[in-house]
Amino acid sequence: MSPANDGAHGFDFLFGSWNVRHRRLARRLAESEDWAEFDGESTTQPTLGGHGNLEDNLIQLPDRAYRAVALRSYDAASGTWAIWWLDGRRPHQLDVPVVGRFEGGVGTFLADDIFEGRPIKVRFLWTCRDMNNCRWEQAFSADAGESWETNWTMDFRRRV
């Protein structure tokens, strides 16, 4: 099973409620091997007449929980999606959007950003085994995309 490759329906697989298992590097771009694992919940609904969606997240870090939102919108002219992240701990700051599309069942989304004062590339990947099991992963590159460090994964299991 893979997400739809037909543009505006690319994220339809994500609609509904999910339990999420997070795995996140303790330190990014620092050659860390120290991963933290924790749970979360997510609910996604369509917006913009089906050309967007809103994902509400409860992220249960080991020391405290917080809320975050992913906002996605589809641009039919370019055939791409943009994804913004709003962290409830910084409620007036939207992250730089990653932009991309689904091809061959994999969604790849990229952005240029700044991390700890240095320019980086950010990559999100979306894959699904079936309609009940999907994965998001985030990676950073400090060398213009020559190499990538995956620093966060989220495994989504649909709530029944």
| Domain harbouring 103, CATH code | 2.40.128.20
Residue 2 within any structural domain of the chain: no
Residue 1 within any structural domain of the chain: no
Mean residue pLDDT of the chain comes to: 94
Q: What is the reported pLDDT for 7? A: 82
User: What does the pLDDT average to over 89-115?
Assistant: 96
Other CB atoms within 10 A of residue 142 CB: 17
pLDDT above 60: residue 1: no
The 3-state DSSP class for residue 111 equals: strand
Q: For residue 30, give every residue at least 6 positions away whose Cβ sits within 8 Å of its Cβ, in sequence order, or none.
A: none
Residue 140 within any structural domain of the chain: yes
Residue 29 within any structural domain of the chain: yes
Query: Into how many domains does the chain fold?
Result: 1
Q: What is the domain extent for residue 99?
A: 7-158
pLDDT above 60: residue 61: yes
